[in-house]
Amino acid sequence: MSRSLPPLNSLRAYECAARHMSFSLASAELNVTPAAVSHQVKLLENHLGVSLFIRLTRKLRLTTAGERLLPEVSEAFLKLREAVNTVDPNSANDVLTLRLGPSLAARWLSPRLHLFWQQFPTIDLRLYHSNSPVNFDREDIDLAITYGAGSWPGVIASPLLDIDFYPVCSPKLVGTESASSTPALLLNHTLLHDAHYDDWEAWLKQSDMPQINPRRGIIIDDTNVLIQAALDGQGIALCSTLFVQEHLDAGRLVRLFDTKLKNDMAYYIVCPKGHLQRPAVKEVKNWLLSQGLVSL
């Protein structure tokens, strides 16, 4: 005999708390108090006869049962939202959420958004910017563009953009030295490291420059800030054409050395297989892939 369903409010409180790993953040989203969220979760735990969270000081962790339940409940709420949108006269457009890094959004996606609106006038796009690993079980995300080797558990990964790296800097920093591009050039100036794409060690090894310490310099946790530091003459950055081509074309940056680094990392479009059952998700994914091919 099947067990009766628990109250919807309890399931909603659990799903939101599990997604945020916080009763406080869940309460802000649901517009209730943290105590109310905790109470609803406790009701659900009593109904199921299992603990769903391990309650630690100022943080939560899912139990095995909580981890097992989350994907199914998240998918159920997604289907509920989609069903409501089909009959809500104020929700005529399809809503699609895309998550990607802020630098890729600014340098690659933003110039193409007018093409997106032309192609998908009935899709309302929601953009979320983050370089941290995506977790589809805990985030309300339809598609993500992420950088890596292409192997992530539980998702389909489709290659979007290959990128390569080479040193660039302001022409004001090196003057006529840029024409010679010798190891001394790197020894005499600060190396600017991108915390998300730091390949100085691999580039120096490929360029046969063992005398250069790949760890010296400044680490910057934002590609846009890294590029601005290079533009301001603060040092030499290892960057991809994807992010600096406009500055190279305008003469604001110059490329140093002929060696460019290609590694086994790339940008991928990722999502759980089930998300592709939505026509809008599948169509937008295919459009993004077509734009990736154009930009290579």
Q: Give the pLDDT score at 295.
A: 45
Parallel/antiparallel/unpaired status of strands 94-100 and 123-129: parallel
Could you count the other beta carbons within 10 Å of the beta carbon of residue 219? 12
Q: What is the pLDDT of residues 102-129, one digit of tens each?
A: 889 988 999 999 999 999 999 999 999 8
Domains, the chain: 8-70 (1.10.10.10), 94-159+265-295 (3.40.190.10), 162-263 (3.40.190.10)
Q: What is the pLDDT of residues 175-185, one digit of tens each?
A: 765 555 678 88
Contact between 279 and 204 (Cβ < 8 Å): no
pTM over 0.85: no
The region of weakest confidence among 98-102, 130-134, 226-230 is: 130-134
Q: Give the pLDDT score at 296.
A: 40
What is 210-234 written as a DSSP string? TTS-TT-SEEES-HHHHHHHHHTTS
The region of weakest confidence among 88-97, 227-236, 251-260, 268-277 is: 88-97
Q: How much is the average pLDDT of 274-293?
A: 91
Q: Give the pLDDT score at 81.
A: 76
The region of weakest confidence among 70-79, 176-185, 253-262 is: 176-185
The DSSP code for 170 is -
